[in-house]
Every structure is written in C-alpha cells, then in structure tokens.
Chain A
Amino acid sequence: DGGITQSPKYLFRKEGQNVTLSCEQNLNHDAMYWYRQDPGQGLRLIYYSQIVNDFQKGDIAEGYSVSREKKESFPLTVTSAQKNPTAFYLCASSIDGGRGDEQYFGPGTRLTVT
C-alpha cells in the first residue's frame, strides 16, 4: 500500500523540550512538505524539500528544523524556540515540487506542549 505515514498521532511534551515528528512516504515522490494547522487558519507552510539533501524555509520556519537525508523521510523537529508549538502538523509529498503537482497528505500529528 503506497502512502504517507506520520507518527505518532498524538504527542505530548513539556515546554522547553525539543520534539521530532516523523514523516515517511513510499510513493517515490521527490518533494515533501510540512504544514502547520491551527483552528480557523487553514494550513501554513513550515518547510519543504524538493530533493534529497535540500530543503527550503516556508512561511513560518522559525523555531523548526528539518532534514532530508533519504528520499522517503522528512522529519520535523519542533525546538524550544518555537513560541506556540501546540498545533496539528501535516506532512505531504508530491511527485515533483515546483510544478503545482497535487500533494498527498499524511494523517497528521497533534502536538500538545504544556
């Protein structure tokens, strides 16, 4: 079964701790994306990667970091510098970023920081 997996579905952390969200795809897509969703605000782009070993900041990259060492994987670290990290995080992939290709989404990870 091809698709995108995100784990875990729910994540709880104490303030001041870094946390890494997992995103894996077996669709053989070149491009991967991380979005953040807050109630009533739609999706905002955090980081994206069009190819292995390369990634670019999105609109709200401050307080986040990513890596893209493998085509299949694009983990997102929420650092202690992120002022309001509690949100729903969505990972997506597309065949070839930059062409306006449709994106396929994972099920999301809900992060709660207290």
Chain B
Amino acid sequence: GEDVEQSLFLSVREGDSSVINCTYTDSSSTYLYWYKQEPGAGLQLLTYIFSNMDMKQDQRLTVLLNKKDKHLSLRIADTQTGDSAIYFCAPAGPGRRALTFGSGTRLQVQP
C-alpha cells in the first residue's frame, strides 16, 4: 500500500514563507491533494496537483511535484497567523479505495 511521510512540526514567523514537504511511495498516484485542518475541525481541501504537472500556483499557495523522487511540497507565501493549522498531504489514484493521509505537519505561525 501507499506510505506517506511528513515532518510533524514547522514554525515560521508571520510574513515569511512556509514550505511543507511530503514523500510518498506509490508512483501510480495521479492526484495529490493538500488538506488543512484547524483545531477541532474537519479537513478542508486547499489545493491539488495532477501527476502530469510539476508546479501549480493558486494565490499564496504553490505546489511542487517531483514525480521521480515522489516528493511533494506546499509553499505558503506571506504566512499569516490564520495559516496555523495541521496540513495533510494525500495522494490518490484510480482503483484505490480512498485517500492515504500522511501524519500531518503542524504549522505554527509566530507573530
């Protein structure tokens, strides 16, 4: 099955950029999602990238995909205190029953 690894914690100062990394094992993954979870809440889809893309930009969010290394990253520009949350990487693919989630990276933004 798919394994997904993320670092557990990242701390940045307000206004800096944040980069959250993710590695996965299943090269057949075709959609790679990023979800955000605020304390005590469900998961909110932030953005995603198709496996035939290297990069996707969506306002302050940039997703980079290195398919050869099976490495995905999420860059948040001009990080704000409201960005403090847990971020989950979740690869998916045809024929797979559900998303596979990493353990999540807790982003702490210091004023």
Contacts and interface: CB of A to CB of B under 8 A. Distances in A.
Interface of A: 4, 6, 33, 35, 40-43, 45, 48, 50, 56, 58, 90, 92, 97-108, 110
Is the contact region of chain B dominated by helix, strand, or loop, or is it mixed?
loop
B44 interface: yes
B94 A90 contact: no
B99 A99 contact: no
Given A100-B92, A100-B94, A108 B101 contact: no
Interface in B57-111: 88, 92-99, 101-104
B44 A105 contact: yes
B94 A98 contact: yes
A35 B101 CA distance: 10
Contacts, number: 64
Interface residues of B, number: 27
B83 to A, nearest CB: 19
B48 interface: yes
Contact of B98 (A42, A58, A105, A110): A58
A79 B57 CA distance: 45
Given A42-B104, A101-B92, 5 more contacts: A42-B103, A90-B43, A98-B96, A102-B45, A104-B45
A99 B94 contact: yes
A66 to B, nearest CB: 14
A50 B4 CA distance: 23
A98 B43 contact: no
Contact of A48 (B44, B98, B103): B98
A76 B8 CA distance: 29
B41 A108 contact: yes
B97 A97 contact: yes
A99 B97 CA distance: 8
A97 B95 CA distance: 8
